[in-house]
Structure 1
Protein backbone atom coordinates (compact mmCIF):
# COMPACT_ATOMS: atom_id res chain seq x y z
CA UNK A 1 0.00 0.00 0.00
CA UNK A 2 1.34 3.43 -0.95
CA UNK A 3 2.07 5.93 1.78
CA UNK A 4 -0.60 8.26 0.42
CA UNK A 5 -3.12 5.42 0.50
CA UNK A 6 -2.19 4.66 4.12
CA UNK A 7 -2.82 8.27 5.08
CA UNK A 8 -6.16 8.20 3.27
CA UNK A 9 -7.28 5.06 5.14
CA UNK A 10 -6.11 6.56 8.44
CA UNK A 11 -8.05 9.75 7.67
CA UNK A 12 -11.23 7.75 7.00
CA UNK A 13 -10.86 5.69 10.19
CA UNK A 14 -10.29 8.78 12.31
CA UNK A 15 -13.37 10.35 10.76
CA UNK A 16 -15.49 7.29 11.50
CA UNK A 17 -14.40 7.10 15.13
CA UNK A 18 -14.88 10.84 15.53
CA UNK A 19 -18.43 10.58 14.20
CA UNK A 20 -19.15 7.68 16.55
CA UNK A 21 -17.84 9.70 19.45
CA UNK A 22 -19.98 12.67 18.45
CA UNK A 23 -23.08 10.48 18.21
CA UNK A 24 -22.42 9.17 21.69
CA UNK A 25 -22.44 12.70 23.09
CA UNK A 26 -26.17 12.99 22.44
CA UNK A 27 -27.92 12.95 25.82
CA UNK A 28 -30.07 9.87 26.27
CA UNK A 29 -33.65 10.58 27.30
CA UNK A 30 -36.42 8.31 28.51
CA UNK A 31 -39.90 9.84 28.31
CA UNK A 32 -42.71 8.93 30.71
CA UNK A 33 -46.12 10.44 29.98
CA UNK A 34 -49.84 10.26 30.81
CA UNK A 35 -50.52 11.29 27.22
CA UNK A 36 -54.25 10.58 27.07
CA UNK A 37 -55.00 12.56 30.22
CA UNK A 38 -54.55 16.10 28.90
CA UNK A 39 -53.75 17.93 25.67
CA UNK A 40 -50.31 19.19 26.69
CA UNK A 41 -48.50 15.83 26.66
CA UNK A 42 -48.81 15.31 22.90
CA UNK A 43 -47.67 18.88 22.26
CA UNK A 44 -44.60 18.53 24.47
CA UNK A 45 -43.73 15.05 23.24
CA UNK A 46 -43.83 16.22 19.63
CA UNK A 47 -41.14 18.80 20.30
CA UNK A 48 -38.66 16.47 21.99
CA UNK A 49 -39.32 13.48 19.72
CA UNK A 50 -38.40 15.54 16.66
CA UNK A 51 -35.24 16.96 18.24
CA UNK A 52 -32.12 15.56 16.55
CA UNK A 53 -29.86 16.60 19.42
CA UNK A 54 -31.20 14.00 21.85
CA UNK A 55 -31.47 10.23 21.77
CA UNK A 56 -34.95 9.22 22.94
CA UNK A 57 -34.46 5.61 24.03
CA UNK A 58 -38.08 4.89 24.95
CA UNK A 59 -41.52 6.39 25.53
CA UNK A 60 -43.33 5.03 28.58
CA UNK A 61 -47.02 5.35 29.39
CA UNK A 62 -48.15 6.22 32.90
CA UNK A 63 -51.52 6.17 34.63
CA UNK A 64 -53.89 8.70 36.18
CA UNK A 65 -56.29 6.11 37.59
CA UNK A 66 -57.12 8.06 40.76
CA UNK A 67 -58.61 11.00 38.86
CA UNK A 68 -62.35 11.64 38.93
CA UNK A 69 -62.34 11.83 35.13
CA UNK A 70 -60.13 8.83 34.54
CA UNK A 71 -60.91 6.28 31.87
CA UNK A 72 -61.28 2.55 32.46
CA UNK A 73 -57.60 1.98 31.73
CA UNK A 74 -55.82 5.32 31.69
CA UNK A 75 -52.34 3.88 31.20
CA UNK A 76 -53.41 1.80 28.19
CA UNK A 77 -55.08 4.83 26.63
CA UNK A 78 -51.83 6.77 27.02
CA UNK A 79 -49.83 3.88 25.56
CA UNK A 80 -52.01 3.75 22.47
CA UNK A 81 -51.93 7.51 21.99
CA UNK A 82 -48.14 7.39 22.29
CA UNK A 83 -48.06 4.86 19.47
CA UNK A 84 -50.46 6.94 17.37
CA UNK A 85 -48.29 10.04 17.78
CA UNK A 86 -45.14 8.14 16.83
CA UNK A 87 -46.88 6.71 13.77
CA UNK A 88 -47.98 10.15 12.58
CA UNK A 89 -44.46 11.48 13.12
CA UNK A 90 -42.96 8.53 11.25
CA UNK A 91 -40.85 7.42 14.21
CA UNK A 92 -40.17 3.94 15.60
CA UNK A 93 -39.25 4.88 19.17
CA UNK A 94 -39.71 2.00 21.61
CA UNK A 95 -42.91 2.22 23.68
CA UNK A 96 -43.61 0.60 27.05
CA UNK A 97 -46.70 0.07 29.16
CA UNK A 98 -46.40 1.36 32.71
CA UNK A 99 -48.17 0.50 35.94
CA UNK A 100 -51.95 0.44 35.59
CA UNK A 101 -52.54 2.20 38.91
CA UNK A 102 -50.63 3.93 41.71
CA UNK A 103 -48.03 2.11 43.80
CA UNK A 104 -49.28 -0.35 46.40
CA UNK A 105 -49.88 0.50 50.04
CA UNK A 106 -47.62 -2.09 51.68
CA UNK A 107 -45.15 -4.91 51.00
CA UNK A 108 -43.74 -4.84 47.49
CA UNK A 109 -45.15 -1.41 46.68
CA UNK A 110 -43.78 -1.27 43.14
CA UNK A 111 -45.91 -1.48 40.03
CA UNK A 112 -43.93 -4.04 38.06
CA UNK A 113 -44.19 -3.09 34.40
CA UNK A 114 -42.25 -2.90 31.15
CA UNK A 115 -41.82 0.83 31.79
CA UNK A 116 -40.27 0.33 35.23
CA UNK A 117 -37.87 -2.32 33.96
CA UNK A 118 -36.93 -0.11 31.00
CA UNK A 119 -35.90 2.59 33.46
CA UNK A 120 -33.86 0.03 35.42
CA UNK A 121 -32.20 -1.23 32.24
CA UNK A 122 -31.29 2.24 31.00
CA UNK A 123 -30.03 3.36 34.42
CA UNK A 124 -27.83 0.28 34.81
CA UNK A 125 -26.34 0.91 31.36
CA UNK A 126 -24.88 4.26 32.47
CA UNK A 127 -21.11 4.21 33.02
CA UNK A 128 -18.44 6.55 34.33
CA UNK A 129 -20.80 8.68 36.38
CA UNK A 130 -23.26 9.33 33.56
CA UNK A 131 -27.01 9.42 34.20
CA UNK A 132 -30.08 8.57 32.16
CA UNK A 133 -32.35 11.59 31.77
CA UNK A 134 -35.96 10.74 32.59
CA UNK A 135 -38.60 13.33 31.71
CA UNK A 136 -41.83 12.52 33.54
CA UNK A 137 -44.96 14.40 32.53
CA UNK A 138 -47.43 12.75 34.90
CA UNK A 139 -47.56 10.53 37.97
CA UNK A 140 -44.18 9.22 39.09
CA UNK A 141 -45.38 5.62 39.38
CA UNK A 142 -42.99 4.10 36.86
CA UNK A 143 -39.91 6.01 38.01
CA UNK A 144 -40.47 5.36 41.71
CA UNK A 145 -41.31 1.71 41.06
CA UNK A 146 -38.01 1.28 39.23
CA UNK A 147 -36.09 2.76 42.17
CA UNK A 148 -38.12 0.68 44.63
CA UNK A 149 -37.31 -2.53 42.72
CA UNK A 150 -33.63 -1.67 42.22
CA UNK A 151 -32.47 0.98 44.74
CA UNK A 152 -28.92 0.96 43.36
CA UNK A 153 -30.01 2.82 40.20
CA UNK A 154 -30.98 6.01 42.07
CA UNK A 155 -27.62 7.68 41.49
CA UNK A 156 -27.83 6.89 37.76
CA UNK A 157 -31.06 8.85 37.15
CA UNK A 158 -31.56 12.53 36.46
CA UNK A 159 -35.29 13.23 36.73
CA UNK A 160 -37.14 16.15 35.13
CA UNK A 161 -40.72 16.45 36.32
CA UNK A 162 -43.75 18.73 36.24
CA UNK A 163 -45.45 18.74 39.61
CA UNK A 164 -45.95 20.24 43.09
CA UNK A 165 -46.14 23.93 43.91
CA UNK A 166 -43.38 25.96 45.52
CA UNK A 167 -43.41 29.35 47.24
CA UNK A 168 -39.91 30.68 46.59
CA UNK A 169 -40.28 33.52 49.11
CA UNK A 170 -41.48 31.38 52.01
CA UNK A 171 -39.73 28.16 51.01
CA UNK A 172 -42.96 26.14 51.20
CA UNK A 173 -43.39 23.04 49.04
CA UNK A 174 -46.93 21.72 48.56
CA UNK A 175 -47.87 18.37 47.06
CA UNK A 176 -51.60 18.60 46.36
CA UNK A 177 -51.66 19.17 42.59
CA UNK A 178 -52.79 16.61 40.00
CA UNK A 179 -49.50 14.83 39.28
CA UNK A 180 -48.74 14.50 42.99
CA UNK A 181 -52.23 13.25 43.80
CA UNK A 182 -52.12 10.52 41.16
CA UNK A 183 -49.44 8.69 43.17
CA UNK A 184 -48.49 10.38 46.47
CA UNK A 185 -46.22 7.57 47.64
CA UNK A 186 -44.24 7.61 44.38
CA UNK A 187 -43.22 11.22 45.01
CA UNK A 188 -42.43 10.49 48.65
CA UNK A 189 -40.23 7.55 47.69
CA UNK A 190 -38.24 9.65 45.23
CA UNK A 191 -37.86 12.60 47.61
CA UNK A 192 -36.34 10.21 50.13
CA UNK A 193 -33.99 8.74 47.51
CA UNK A 194 -30.79 10.08 45.98
CA UNK A 195 -32.31 10.58 42.52
CA UNK A 196 -31.26 13.95 41.08
CA UNK A 197 -34.50 15.91 40.68
CA UNK A 198 -35.26 18.93 38.49
CA UNK A 199 -38.84 20.13 39.00
CA UNK A 200 -40.99 22.80 37.43
CA UNK A 201 -43.86 23.48 39.85
CA UNK A 202 -47.31 24.06 38.39
CA UNK A 203 -47.29 27.47 40.06
CA UNK A 204 -44.57 28.41 37.54
CA UNK A 205 -45.64 26.29 34.55
CA UNK A 206 -49.11 27.84 34.65
CA UNK A 207 -48.02 30.72 32.40
CA UNK A 208 -47.48 28.38 29.42
CA UNK A 209 -50.79 29.54 27.89
CA UNK A 210 -51.97 28.76 24.35
CA UNK A 211 -54.91 30.53 22.71
CA UNK A 212 -57.03 28.25 20.55
CA UNK A 213 -57.46 30.63 17.61
CA UNK A 214 -53.74 31.34 17.41
CA UNK A 215 -52.97 27.64 17.75
CA UNK A 216 -55.37 26.74 14.94
CA UNK A 217 -54.03 29.47 12.67
CA UNK A 218 -50.46 28.34 13.28
CA UNK A 219 -50.95 24.57 13.03
CA UNK A 220 -53.74 23.82 10.56
CA UNK A 221 -52.99 22.28 7.16
CA UNK A 222 -49.88 20.50 8.44
CA UNK A 223 -50.15 16.76 9.08
CA UNK A 224 -48.73 16.90 12.61
CA UNK A 225 -50.36 20.24 13.39
CA UNK A 226 -53.77 18.91 12.35
CA UNK A 227 -53.31 15.91 14.64
CA UNK A 228 -52.44 18.15 17.59
CA UNK A 229 -55.49 20.29 16.89
CA UNK A 230 -57.59 17.13 16.90
CA UNK A 231 -56.15 16.20 20.31
CA UNK A 232 -57.36 19.60 21.58
CA UNK A 233 -60.78 19.35 19.91
CA UNK A 234 -61.45 15.74 20.97
CA UNK A 235 -60.57 16.23 24.64
CA UNK A 236 -63.38 16.08 27.19
CA UNK A 237 -63.18 19.89 27.46
CA UNK A 238 -62.23 20.43 23.83
CA UNK A 239 -64.36 23.57 23.53
CA UNK A 240 -61.93 25.63 25.60
CA UNK A 241 -60.60 28.75 23.89
CA UNK A 242 -57.48 28.83 26.05
CA UNK A 243 -55.38 26.05 27.51
CA UNK A 244 -52.26 25.64 29.64
CA UNK A 245 -49.72 23.48 27.81
CA UNK A 246 -48.00 22.54 31.06
CA UNK A 247 -45.61 19.87 29.84
CA UNK A 248 -44.02 22.04 27.18
CA UNK A 249 -42.28 23.96 29.97
CA UNK A 250 -40.41 20.99 31.47
CA UNK A 251 -39.46 19.54 28.07
CA UNK A 252 -37.96 22.88 27.05
CA UNK A 253 -36.27 23.28 30.42
CA UNK A 254 -34.33 20.15 29.50
CA UNK A 255 -33.76 21.06 25.84
CA UNK A 256 -32.99 24.75 26.39
CA UNK A 257 -31.63 25.44 29.89
CA UNK A 258 -30.82 28.97 28.71
CA UNK A 259 -34.57 29.67 28.53
CA UNK A 260 -35.21 28.95 32.21
CA UNK A 261 -34.14 30.13 35.65
CA UNK A 262 -33.29 27.29 38.02
CA UNK A 263 -32.42 27.41 41.71
CA UNK A 264 -31.33 24.81 44.23
CA UNK A 265 -33.48 24.40 47.32
CA UNK A 266 -33.34 22.18 50.38
CA UNK A 267 -36.61 20.45 51.12
CA UNK A 268 -38.04 20.20 54.63
CA UNK A 269 -37.30 17.06 56.62
CA UNK A 270 -40.76 15.65 55.92
CA UNK A 271 -40.00 16.04 52.20
CA UNK A 272 -36.67 14.26 52.36
CA UNK A 273 -34.47 17.05 53.73
CA UNK A 274 -32.43 17.05 50.53
CA UNK A 275 -31.25 19.16 47.61
CA UNK A 276 -33.72 19.57 44.73
CA UNK A 277 -33.49 21.84 41.70
CA UNK A 278 -36.58 23.97 41.08
CA UNK A 279 -37.37 26.05 38.01
CA UNK A 280 -38.33 29.54 39.13
CA UNK A 281 -39.13 31.18 35.80
CA UNK A 282 -39.00 30.62 32.03
CA UNK A 283 -39.50 32.42 28.74
CA UNK A 284 -43.02 31.34 27.78
CA UNK A 285 -43.20 33.54 24.68
CA UNK A 286 -40.01 32.05 23.28
CA UNK A 287 -41.18 28.50 23.97
CA UNK A 288 -44.53 29.15 22.30
CA UNK A 289 -42.98 30.73 19.20
CA UNK A 290 -40.43 27.93 18.97
CA UNK A 291 -43.19 25.33 19.22
CA UNK A 292 -45.19 26.75 16.32
CA UNK A 293 -42.08 27.14 14.17
CA UNK A 294 -40.85 23.59 14.84
CA UNK A 295 -44.21 21.92 14.23
CA UNK A 296 -44.78 23.74 10.93
CA UNK A 297 -41.26 22.85 9.73
CA UNK A 298 -41.45 19.16 10.65
CA UNK A 299 -41.26 16.48 7.99
CA UNK A 300 -41.24 12.75 8.58
CA UNK A 301 -37.70 11.28 8.52
Structure 2
Protein backbone atom coordinates (compact mmCIF):
# COMPACT_ATOMS: atom_id res chain seq x y z
CA UNK A 1 0.00 0.00 0.00
CA UNK A 2 2.73 2.47 -0.94
CA UNK A 3 1.75 6.07 -1.54
CA UNK A 4 3.27 7.89 -4.48
CA UNK A 5 5.83 10.55 -3.61
CA UNK A 6 3.31 13.23 -4.56
CA UNK A 7 0.62 11.71 -2.34
CA UNK A 8 3.03 11.34 0.57
CA UNK A 9 4.29 14.92 0.37
CA UNK A 10 0.73 16.19 0.16
CA UNK A 11 -0.27 14.15 3.23
CA UNK A 12 2.73 15.50 5.14
CA UNK A 13 1.69 19.12 4.72
CA UNK A 14 1.19 20.70 8.12
CA UNK A 15 -2.52 20.73 9.01
CA UNK A 16 -4.17 24.15 9.07
CA UNK A 17 -7.72 23.17 10.02
CA UNK A 18 -9.24 21.16 12.87
CA UNK A 19 -8.33 17.49 12.66
CA UNK A 20 -9.54 14.17 14.06
CA UNK A 21 -7.02 12.49 16.33
CA UNK A 22 -6.31 9.59 18.68
CA UNK A 23 -3.56 9.47 21.31
CA UNK A 24 -1.41 6.41 22.03
CA UNK A 25 0.28 6.87 25.43
CA UNK A 26 2.32 5.01 28.06
CA UNK A 27 0.67 7.25 30.63
CA UNK A 28 2.19 5.78 33.79
CA UNK A 29 5.77 5.59 32.52
CA UNK A 30 6.64 9.24 33.16
CA UNK A 31 4.91 12.40 34.33
CA UNK A 32 4.81 14.05 30.90
CA UNK A 33 2.13 11.86 29.30
CA UNK A 34 -0.39 13.23 31.80
CA UNK A 35 0.35 16.76 30.62
CA UNK A 36 0.00 15.66 26.98
CA UNK A 37 -3.39 14.02 27.58
CA UNK A 38 -4.66 17.19 29.25
CA UNK A 39 -3.19 19.40 26.50
CA UNK A 40 -4.90 17.34 23.80
CA UNK A 41 -8.28 17.65 25.51
CA UNK A 42 -7.91 21.40 26.01
CA UNK A 43 -6.93 22.07 22.38
CA UNK A 44 -10.42 21.68 20.94
CA UNK A 45 -9.86 24.48 18.46
CA UNK A 46 -7.48 22.17 16.57
CA UNK A 47 -8.05 18.63 17.85
CA UNK A 48 -11.17 16.48 17.90
CA UNK A 49 -9.99 13.69 20.20
CA UNK A 50 -11.73 10.43 19.29
CA UNK A 51 -9.98 7.82 21.44
CA UNK A 52 -7.03 7.05 23.71
CA UNK A 53 -4.87 3.90 23.68
CA UNK A 54 -2.65 2.59 26.47
CA UNK A 55 0.84 1.65 25.27
CA UNK A 56 3.15 -0.94 26.87
CA UNK A 57 6.33 -0.03 28.69
CA UNK A 58 8.89 -1.88 30.79
CA UNK A 59 11.23 -0.19 33.26
CA UNK A 60 11.56 0.23 37.02
CA UNK A 61 7.90 1.28 37.21
CA UNK A 62 6.55 -2.00 35.81
CA UNK A 63 7.34 -5.70 35.88
CA UNK A 64 6.85 -6.11 32.15
CA UNK A 65 5.17 -4.60 29.07
CA UNK A 66 1.74 -5.94 30.04
CA UNK A 67 1.96 -4.49 33.55
CA UNK A 68 3.16 -1.18 32.12
CA UNK A 69 0.23 -1.08 29.70
CA UNK A 70 -2.28 -1.88 32.46
CA UNK A 71 -0.84 0.80 34.73
CA UNK A 72 -0.95 3.26 31.85
CA UNK A 73 -4.58 2.37 31.18
CA UNK A 74 -5.48 2.94 34.84
CA UNK A 75 -3.65 6.29 34.90
CA UNK A 76 -5.37 7.30 31.67
CA UNK A 77 -8.73 6.53 33.26
CA UNK A 78 -7.90 8.74 36.26
CA UNK A 79 -7.03 11.70 34.06
CA UNK A 80 -10.08 11.33 31.82
CA UNK A 81 -12.26 11.12 34.95
CA UNK A 82 -10.81 14.33 36.37
CA UNK A 83 -11.27 16.01 33.00
CA UNK A 84 -14.90 14.88 32.90
CA UNK A 85 -14.65 12.98 29.60
CA UNK A 86 -14.23 9.38 30.69
CA UNK A 87 -17.72 8.47 29.48
CA UNK A 88 -17.66 10.51 26.29
CA UNK A 89 -14.22 9.67 24.84
CA UNK A 90 -13.34 5.95 24.80
CA UNK A 91 -10.02 4.52 25.92
CA UNK A 92 -8.64 1.08 25.08
CA UNK A 93 -6.04 -1.32 26.40
CA UNK A 94 -3.10 -1.78 24.06
CA UNK A 95 -0.48 -4.45 23.48
CA UNK A 96 0.55 -6.76 26.31
CA UNK A 97 3.91 -7.52 24.65
CA UNK A 98 6.29 -6.11 22.08
CA UNK A 99 6.31 -7.43 18.53
CA UNK A 100 7.89 -10.91 18.39
CA UNK A 101 9.20 -10.40 14.84
CA UNK A 102 8.88 -7.99 11.89
CA UNK A 103 5.68 -9.53 10.50
CA UNK A 104 3.51 -10.58 13.46
CA UNK A 105 1.18 -8.01 15.06
CA UNK A 106 0.25 -8.09 18.74
CA UNK A 107 -3.50 -8.37 19.16
CA UNK A 108 -5.16 -5.75 21.37
CA UNK A 109 -8.42 -3.88 21.52
CA UNK A 110 -6.47 -0.68 20.98
CA UNK A 111 -4.82 -1.83 17.75
CA UNK A 112 -8.11 -3.22 16.44
CA UNK A 113 -9.94 0.01 17.26
CA UNK A 114 -7.25 2.00 15.49
CA UNK A 115 -7.72 -0.14 12.37
CA UNK A 116 -11.50 0.38 12.49
CA UNK A 117 -11.23 4.14 12.92
CA UNK A 118 -8.61 4.43 10.21
CA UNK A 119 -10.62 2.39 7.71
CA UNK A 120 -13.60 4.66 8.37
CA UNK A 121 -11.44 7.67 7.45
CA UNK A 122 -10.65 8.99 3.99
CA UNK A 123 -7.53 10.23 2.24
CA UNK A 124 -9.03 13.72 2.29
CA UNK A 125 -9.81 13.54 6.02
CA UNK A 126 -7.11 11.32 7.54
CA UNK A 127 -7.00 10.25 11.16
CA UNK A 128 -4.00 11.70 13.00
CA UNK A 129 -2.40 9.09 15.24
CA UNK A 130 -0.39 10.79 17.98
CA UNK A 131 2.00 8.38 19.67
CA UNK A 132 4.11 9.29 22.70
CA UNK A 133 5.29 5.83 23.77
CA UNK A 134 6.55 2.63 22.21
CA UNK A 135 5.04 2.39 18.73
CA UNK A 136 3.83 -1.23 19.23
CA UNK A 137 0.10 -0.53 18.97
CA UNK A 138 0.49 1.51 15.79
CA UNK A 139 2.87 -0.97 14.14
CA UNK A 140 0.48 -3.81 15.00
CA UNK A 141 -2.37 -1.92 13.32
CA UNK A 142 -0.22 -1.37 10.21
CA UNK A 143 0.53 -5.10 10.06
CA UNK A 144 -3.10 -6.05 10.64
CA UNK A 145 -4.35 -3.84 7.82
CA UNK A 146 -1.81 -2.16 5.52
CA UNK A 147 -4.65 -0.26 3.79
CA UNK A 148 -4.71 2.22 6.67
CA UNK A 149 -1.45 3.72 5.38
CA UNK A 150 -3.61 5.72 2.99
CA UNK A 151 -5.91 6.94 5.77
CA UNK A 152 -3.71 8.06 8.68
CA UNK A 153 -0.87 10.40 9.57
CA UNK A 154 1.35 9.34 12.48
CA UNK A 155 2.95 11.95 14.75
CA UNK A 156 5.53 10.16 16.91
CA UNK A 157 7.78 11.36 19.69
CA UNK A 158 10.60 8.85 19.34
CA UNK A 159 14.32 8.45 18.84
CA UNK A 160 16.87 11.23 19.09
CA UNK A 161 17.85 13.92 16.61
CA UNK A 162 19.23 12.56 13.35
CA UNK A 163 22.66 14.03 14.09
CA UNK A 164 22.81 12.34 17.53
CA UNK A 165 25.51 9.73 18.17
CA UNK A 166 22.87 7.05 18.69
CA UNK A 167 19.13 6.72 18.97
CA UNK A 168 18.87 4.68 22.17
CA UNK A 169 15.74 6.52 23.20
CA UNK A 170 13.19 4.77 25.42
CA UNK A 171 10.20 4.87 23.06
CA UNK A 172 12.24 3.66 20.08
CA UNK A 173 14.45 1.04 21.70
CA UNK A 174 11.67 -0.77 23.60
CA UNK A 175 10.35 -2.34 20.40
CA UNK A 176 12.89 -2.31 17.58
CA UNK A 177 10.65 -4.36 15.28
CA UNK A 178 7.80 -1.88 15.68
CA UNK A 179 10.08 1.13 15.21
CA UNK A 180 11.50 -0.29 12.01
CA UNK A 181 8.02 -1.09 10.70
CA UNK A 182 7.02 2.53 11.23
CA UNK A 183 9.99 3.88 9.26
CA UNK A 184 9.80 1.22 6.53
CA UNK A 185 6.04 1.13 5.97
CA UNK A 186 5.71 4.35 3.99
CA UNK A 187 2.99 5.64 6.32
CA UNK A 188 2.89 9.46 6.45
CA UNK A 189 5.05 10.16 9.50
CA UNK A 190 5.97 13.26 11.47
CA UNK A 191 8.99 12.48 13.65
CA UNK A 192 9.69 14.56 16.75
CA UNK A 193 13.05 13.53 18.25
CA UNK A 194 13.66 13.54 21.99
CA UNK A 195 17.26 14.61 22.65
CA UNK A 196 18.14 17.59 20.52
CA UNK A 197 14.56 18.77 20.01
CA UNK A 198 11.86 17.87 22.56
CA UNK A 199 14.53 17.97 25.27
CA UNK A 200 14.12 21.77 25.25
CA UNK A 201 10.72 21.38 26.95
CA UNK A 202 12.06 21.58 30.48
CA UNK A 203 10.17 23.08 33.39
CA UNK A 204 10.49 23.33 37.17
CA UNK A 205 8.31 22.73 40.22
CA UNK A 206 8.10 26.47 40.87
CA UNK A 207 6.79 27.11 37.35
CA UNK A 208 4.21 24.32 37.72
CA UNK A 209 3.23 25.76 41.11
CA UNK A 210 2.80 29.27 39.69
CA UNK A 211 0.98 28.43 36.45
CA UNK A 212 -0.63 24.98 36.81
CA UNK A 213 -1.44 24.22 40.45
CA UNK A 214 -4.43 26.57 40.72
CA UNK A 215 -6.00 25.43 37.44
CA UNK A 216 -8.75 23.36 39.03
CA UNK A 217 -8.62 19.67 40.01
CA UNK A 218 -6.48 18.65 37.04
CA UNK A 219 -4.00 21.43 37.81
CA UNK A 220 -3.67 20.19 41.36
CA UNK A 221 -3.24 16.62 40.07
CA UNK A 222 -0.47 17.57 37.66
CA UNK A 223 1.25 19.65 40.32
CA UNK A 224 1.21 16.78 42.82
CA UNK A 225 2.41 14.39 40.13
CA UNK A 226 5.34 16.65 39.34
CA UNK A 227 6.14 17.30 43.01
CA UNK A 228 6.13 13.60 43.87
CA UNK A 229 8.49 12.61 41.05
CA UNK A 230 11.50 13.70 43.10
CA UNK A 231 12.28 14.48 46.72
CA UNK A 232 14.73 17.32 46.11
CA UNK A 233 13.58 19.98 43.62
CA UNK A 234 16.33 22.48 44.43
CA UNK A 235 17.80 23.75 41.12
CA UNK A 236 16.01 20.88 39.37
CA UNK A 237 14.07 20.87 36.13
CA UNK A 238 12.35 18.06 34.27
CA UNK A 239 11.55 17.56 30.60
CA UNK A 240 7.87 17.33 29.69
CA UNK A 241 8.68 15.87 26.27
CA UNK A 242 5.28 14.55 25.28
CA UNK A 243 3.47 17.85 24.91
CA UNK A 244 5.58 18.44 21.79
CA UNK A 245 3.45 16.03 19.75
CA UNK A 246 0.29 17.91 20.69
CA UNK A 247 1.89 21.31 20.12
CA UNK A 248 2.87 20.36 16.55
CA UNK A 249 -0.79 19.91 15.68
CA UNK A 250 -1.89 22.99 17.61
CA UNK A 251 0.59 25.38 16.00
CA UNK A 252 3.19 23.91 13.67
CA UNK A 253 5.13 27.20 13.57
CA UNK A 254 6.30 26.38 17.10
CA UNK A 255 7.98 23.21 15.79
CA UNK A 256 9.87 23.99 12.55
CA UNK A 257 10.17 20.95 10.31
CA UNK A 258 11.40 19.76 6.95
CA UNK A 259 11.04 16.75 4.68
CA UNK A 260 13.82 14.15 4.89
CA UNK A 261 14.22 10.62 3.65
CA UNK A 262 13.04 8.05 6.15
CA UNK A 263 16.07 6.86 8.15
CA UNK A 264 17.09 3.29 8.91
CA UNK A 265 17.81 1.93 12.40
CA UNK A 266 20.81 -0.35 12.94
CA UNK A 267 20.95 -3.22 15.42
CA UNK A 268 22.99 -1.02 17.77
CA UNK A 269 20.43 1.80 17.55
CA UNK A 270 22.14 4.20 15.20
CA UNK A 271 20.59 6.15 12.36
CA UNK A 272 21.68 5.50 8.79
CA UNK A 273 20.44 7.15 5.61
CA UNK A 274 19.43 6.27 2.07
CA UNK A 275 18.27 9.01 -0.30
CA UNK A 276 16.22 6.49 -2.27
CA UNK A 277 13.78 5.98 0.60
CA UNK A 278 10.42 7.70 0.99
CA UNK A 279 9.97 11.03 2.77
CA UNK A 280 8.91 11.76 6.33
CA UNK A 281 8.46 15.13 8.06
CA UNK A 282 11.22 15.79 10.58
CA UNK A 283 10.89 18.36 13.38
CA UNK A 284 14.31 19.92 14.04
CA UNK A 285 13.58 22.64 16.59
CA UNK A 286 10.85 24.00 18.85
CA UNK A 287 9.80 27.17 20.63
CA UNK A 288 9.71 26.12 24.25
CA UNK A 289 8.14 29.23 25.75
CA UNK A 290 5.28 29.45 23.25
CA UNK A 291 4.31 25.82 23.87
CA UNK A 292 4.27 26.08 27.67
CA UNK A 293 2.46 29.42 27.51
CA UNK A 294 -0.30 27.86 25.39
CA UNK A 295 -0.69 24.90 27.75
CA UNK A 296 -0.70 27.03 30.92
CA UNK A 297 -3.15 29.52 29.42
CA UNK A 298 -5.57 26.83 28.33
CA UNK A 299 -5.49 25.21 31.76
CA UNK A 300 -6.18 28.52 33.49
CA UNK A 301 -9.03 29.37 31.13
CA UNK A 302 -10.61 25.93 31.50
CA UNK A 303 -10.51 26.24 35.29
CA UNK A 304 -12.21 29.63 35.19
CA UNK A 305 -15.26 28.37 33.29
Q: State TM-score, norm by structure 1.
A: 0.84
- Distance in 2 (CA, whole Å) between partners of 1:124 and 1:191 is 21
* Structure 2 unaligned residues grouped into runs of 5+: 1-16, 266-271
* Number of aligned positions between the proteins: 271
* Structure 1 unaligned residues grouped into runs of 5+: 1-24
Cα deviations by residue, 1:264-296 (Å, 9 ceiling, x for unpaired): 111346668221111011110111112211112
Q: Would the alpha carbon gap of residues 176 and 299 (structure 1) be closer, same or farther in structure 2, given more than 3 Å must change?
A: same
Cα deviations by residue, 1:5-30 (Å, 9 ceiling, x for unpaired): xxxxxxxxxxxxxxxxxxxx741101
Cα deviations by residue, 1:194-240 (Å, 9 ceiling, x for unpaired): 210001111211010111112112222331110101222333x4644
- Distance in 2 (CA, whole Å) between partners of 1:36 and 1:131 is 28
User: Over alpha carbons, which structure has the higher Rg?
Assistant: 1
Deviation at 1:94, TM superposition (A): 0.5
- Distance in 1 (CA, whole Å) between partners of 2:294 and 2:99 is 37
- Distance in 2 (CA, whole Å) between partners of 1:292 and 1:300 is 13
1:242 pairs, out of 215, 237, 241, with 237
Alignment of 1:14-163 (within 5 A): 26-53=18-45, 54-65=47-58, 67-71=59-63, 73-91=67-85, 92-105=88-101, 109-163=104-158
Cα deviations by residue, 1:56-82 (Å, 9 ceiling, x for unpaired): 1101000112x3543451101111111
- Distance in 2 (CA, whole Å) between partners of 1:165 and 1:128 is 30
Q: State TM-score, norm by structure 2.
A: 0.83
Does residue 214 of structure 1 match 2:207?
yes
Q: Would the alpha carbon gap of residues 277 and 173 (structure 1) be closer, same or farther in structure 2, given more than 3 Å must change?
A: farther
Q: Segments of 4+ in structure 1 off by > 6 A?
A: none
Contact 2:20 2:48 in 1 (8 A): yes
Q: CA RMSD in A?
A: 2.1
Deviation at 1:129, TM superposition (A): 3.6
Does residue 298 of structure 1 match 2:302?
yes
